[in-house]
Structures are given as structure tokens and as C-alpha cells.
Amino acid sequence: MADVTAVRGEKIITLFSSFIMELNNVKSGDQIFSALVKILRKTVNPKWVVILDEKKKLLLSFPENDDQEYMRFSELIDWAIQNKSHSFYPAGDEIVGFLPMIRAGEVRGIILLGLNEEPKVEEIDSLRVFSFLSSTVAENVMLLEEVMEKNRLVEETMNYLHSILDTFPEMVIVVSQEGEIVYMNKRFVEEGDNDEIREKALGVAKEVIETGVRRVGEVESEGQFYSIVAEPLKYQSTIQAVTTIMNVTSTKELERLKQLDRMKTEFVANISHELRTPLAAIKAYSETILYSLEEMDPDTLKDFTKTIYEESQHLENLLNELLDFSKIERKALKMERQNVNVVEIIKSAVDSMMEYANSNKVQLTFESSDEVIEAYVDPTRIKQVALNLISNAIKYSKKDIENKYVRVKLKKKEDTFLLSVEDNGIGIPEDKLDKIFEKFYRVDSSLTYEVSGTGLGLSIVKEIVELHGGKIWVESEEGRGSTFYVEIPLGLEGNNGQHREDD
């Protein structure tokens, strides 16, 4: 007897293990039920098997048919589901088994079996275990299917978002808290993945991650201008930076042309005013002389003619500036170089500005590192540079302060000379420093509007300096003053004091 039980036990174990192996490979509810039918056929060899869900919907029938004959047991099915109990009833020449599939106290479905004979006790036990295992695995498979469906939905949504971001004309990247790019759209891959753009965008993104607020930036790469906007994004308790990079070359060019146009209009208004003022003075003074010459004492006459002379000189300067500008535009400005002592040239410029400085209560001084600094330059043009810088320094002095000064210094360096013009005037805002050398540009502050000018002076000065192979730059602090520097090569080597052809 003990042997028989052992043999049965062994058989059941073999069946279990083959059932579990079958279950291991299932990926859908249908496959579980097929495995179950297979195992049932090996255990109790039923004539037929029907598996229903808890609402009596057919999930599987063996052999396959859909005549719904099992519905004749409808009441017994309900009873078994309600009582959650396994039962066997004789029906005609067969025994029908009702095996509810129970999981966590809930009925998930029911297995109906048509048997030739009443099953043995150990067969009933195995059937119970099989149905329990099937319901467990079926539930897990259902959960798995749900998760897989959700994953598929998440993936689909991600793909959808990515394709939207890929259609953007802007480049978009997401930078993690560790400063790594965790997302880049197609545009960035195609257009922006170069060192300059990447470095600048990462820099702006880093600021956003550090400060938690929006930041903007700009970068120039291969002749194109890009604007960068980075916004903070909270993600799983870290801060990331969503960074958008836009090619704004055409907008910038348009802006530049519009600004140039605006400046030209302002320039025409300015120049008309600049011409009219001295002209009006000349007209008024000469009229008075013409009609009242007899009554005039010699001193008044001298004063009047002096004013006429000064105003016509002002007009001449203005016309010369216009002429130079037009030459620069036509690329026709030529330097007439010769060997000269730069100290003398600068000194004479300072001398001719002395009266203007005095009348503005500005103390104008000059010092030079050497008595003679010989260079191969155009003396008239170098003087023009100095005159322009000194007159600006006086012009843009503060209105009502004591101790106004303009310090002109000349220094010989190895193979260059350095001219500096320092003032304690109104200064230049930092963001305008690189603009003041552009044609027509005038710093847009109320103070400068009270001061006459054309906005051409510095652009002409810059051109002259560059035609001498030199450079010009400025250091300034708004409200405190400015220092303009001009450095020009002496241009003497191999010259032997002879005139050279212009460059």
C-alpha cells in the first residue's frame, strides 16, 4: 500500500513539475489554459474541458466547439462560484466536475470537466492545486499584460513627444543636474552639435541649475548667431535645464539694418542741426558787421570776426568729417606717410585744443615718455586722431564738477607708440563700449543729446588707426570717465628714413 502511495506521489510530482515548466513559458492567459488542459488530460483524461471566466464567458473549450452545451449546468456553475467549492455531479453517463479558480478569496473563473468516472481523492487534490496555480499565474499574466500595455503607452507617448520636439525649428536639449545632456532633439544633432554651441549652451544650463531661474545667452559659431534660453525643470527631486537654442542670424541682420537705418535718419537730423548752428551764427554776425560797421569799435569788430572765423572752421571740420566718411565708404581713404616726430604732432593737437579746454574749464595736460618718437605715419591723420579723441574727452566732460581734466600721454614701446587720452567725464556704459566705434553711433543718453556730434568721429579715427596697422580701444566706467588708447606701429624697419609706398 505504501508503495502504491509512493508511486502515485511520484506521478503527481512529475505532473506538477511539467505543469510548472509549461507555466514558466506562458505569456498570455490563453497559453495558461492550454497548459491546464494538457495537464488535465494527463491526470484525469477528461472527455471535455470548458473554462469560463467569473461571468461565465467562455475562455477555452476542449475539444473546440461553441455550441455552449455547458450552459445546461448554468445553475450548478452559479452554485459552485457562489460557494467557492469544488464538486462533482453525475450527468447521464459522465461525471461533471466544477472547479472554481480561486485566488485571494476571489473567484476568477471556473473549470468544467466531463469525466468517465468519479475522480480519486488524490486526483481531486491535484485538480485543486492545478486550478489554484492556473488562477495565480493567470492573474499575474494579466498584470504583466497590463504593465506591458502601460509601458507600450508610455513608449508611444514618449515617441510622440520626441517627434513633436523633432519638428521644432529650434534646437532643444535637456541638461541634467550633473551637467550632462540627457536629451537632444533632431535639430540639435544635425545643426548644433559643435564645440562652441555645446559649451555655451551647457554654461547657460549650468547657471540655471545653480540658480533655479531662467537664463539667456548668445553664441556665434561659423558665422551664425544663436540665442540660448534655458528654463529650470524639476525632475525627480533634481533640477534639470531645458535649453532652447535658436539660430537668430537673419533676425540679427534685420535688426542691424533697421538700427543702421534709424541711425542714418538721426544722422541726417543731426547734421542739418550741426550745419545750421554755425551757419546761423556766421549769418547773424556778418549781417551786423555789414549794417553797423561804422558804429562798431575795433574790439567788438575783432570779436565778431573771430566768431565768424571759428564758426566757419567748425563748418570746415564738419565737411571734412563728411568727406572722410564718404572716402571710407568708397574705400578711398589713403594715408600719406612720412617719417615724423609723433611727439610734435600730438603736442600741436593738444595746443590747438587748449582754448577749447579752457573755455570748458577742463585742465588739459600732455606728457611723453620721450622727446622724440620717430614713426612712419601720416602726420595730418595722426593729428586728426588726437584732435578727435581730445575734443571728445572735453565734449563729454561732466557739466558741473570741479577739477575736470583730460590727460594726454604718449609712450614709446618697442616697435609701437601708445597714445592715451584720459578724462574724468561722463563715461560710457559697459554694453555700449564696442558700439561707439561704429558709424553713426552715439550713446543714447540724455547727456549726450545735449552735446552736438555726428557719431562719425570715432569710426573715422578707427579707420585711420587701422590703416596704419594699429588698434584702438577704450576703458571706461559710466559716471567716472574714460581712457581711449591708440597703439600704432612705428613702421620704421628697413625704411632708412626714406619715404615708402603706402600699404
Site residues for ligand ADP per CB under 6 A:
392-393, 396, 423, 425-428, 436, 441-443, 448, 453-459, 482
Q: Which three cell numbers stand for residue 478?
A: 559710466
Beta bridge partners of 408: 366, 421
Contact 499, 337 (CB under 8 A): yes
Residue 426 CB, nearest approach to ligand ADP (Å): 5
Return the SS3 of 270: helix
Residue 346 CB, nearest approach to ligand ADP (Å): 17
| C-beta closer to ligand ADP: residue 198 or 462 | 462
| C-beta closer to ligand ADP: residue 184 or 464 | 464
Q: Which three cell numbers stand for residue 309?
A: 572765423
Residue 108: which residues within 8 A CB-CB, separation 6 or more? 53, 54, 101, 102, 135, 138, 139
Residue 386 CB, nearest approach to ligand ADP (Å): 13
Distance in angstroms (rounded) separating the CA atoms of residues 287 and 301: 12
> Which of 157, 219, 232, 163 is CA-nearest to residue 191?
219
Residue 440 CB, nearest approach to ligand ADP (Å): 8
| C-beta closer to ligand ADP: residue 225 or 485 | 485
| C-beta closer to ligand ADP: residue 36 or 436 | 436
- The 10 Å CB-count burial string (b at 16+, else e) for 413-437 is eeebbbbbbbbbbbbbbeeeeeebb
| C-beta closer to ligand ADP: residue 100 or 425 | 425
Return the SS3 of 465: helix
| C-beta closer to ligand ADP: residue 97 or 427 | 427
| CA distances in angstroms from 409 to 90, 149, 374, 425, 481, listed in the order given | 123, 80, 16, 17, 16
Contact 481, 423 (CB under 8 A): yes
| C-beta closer to ligand ADP: residue 312 or 448 | 448
| C-beta closer to ligand ADP: residue 18 or 448 | 448
| C-beta closer to ligand ADP: residue 135 or 459 | 459
| C-beta closer to ligand ADP: residue 321 or 374 | 321
| C-beta closer to ligand ADP: residue 23 or 328 | 328
CA 145 to chain CA centroid, nearest Å: 42
> Which of 403, 411, 330 is CA-nearest to residue 360?
403
Q: In what order do the strands lie in the sheet with 215-221?
A: 181-184, 171-175, 238-247, 224-235, 215-221
- The 10 Å CB-count burial string (b at 16+, else e) for 176-198 is bbeeebeebbebbeeebeeeebb
Residue 355 CB, nearest approach to ligand ADP (Å): 19
Contact 492, 375 (CB under 8 A): yes
Residue 265 CB, nearest approach to ligand ADP (Å): 15
Residue 451 CB, nearest approach to ligand ADP (Å): 7
Q: How far apart are the first and last CA of the chain?
A: 122
Residue 270 CB, nearest approach to ligand ADP (Å): 8
Residue 232 CB, nearest approach to ligand ADP (Å): 38
Residue 475 CB, nearest approach to ligand ADP (Å): 11
Residue 457 CB, nearest approach to ligand ADP (Å): 3
Residue 429 CB, nearest approach to ligand ADP (Å): 9
Nearest position to ligand ADP, beta carbon: 453
Q: How many CB atoms lie within 10 A of CB 137?
A: 23
Contact 440, 461 (CB under 8 A): no
The 3-state secondary structure of 279-343, one letter per residue: HHHHHHHHHHHHHHCCCCCHHHHHHHHHHHHHHHHHHHHHHHHHHHHHHHHCCCCCCCCEEEEHH
| C-beta closer to ligand ADP: residue 311 or 374 | 311
